[in-house]
Amino acid sequence: MRAVTVLFVVLLVAVIVAVDVLFLRHRAWERLAVNVGIVLLFIAFYVRFLKRP
């Protein structure tokens, strides 16, 4: 389970960096809002599918 969590965090960082570099390079506030949204989506996915009861 620990390997899945590490992979999940690496994927989260990769998605955030990719979105920042490809789409939001010079837009600070939009980048912040999108990054927060991405993190919230990843947290919701983690809690729904990967967290053990």
Residue 53's pLDDT is 67
Residue 30's pLDDT is 95
Is the four-CA dihedral 12, 18, 19, 20 of positive or negative sign? positive
CB 35 within 8 A of CB 20: yes
Helix (H, G, I), strand (E, B) or coil at 27: coil
Helical axes 2-23 vs 28-45, angle rounded to 10°:
160
Residue 52's pLDDT is 73
Q: Which amino acid is at 45?
A: F
Q: Which amino acid is at 34?
A: V
Over its length of 53 residues, how does the chain's per-residue pLDDT go in tens digits? 789 889 999 999 999 999 999 999 999 999 999 999 999 999 999 999 888 76
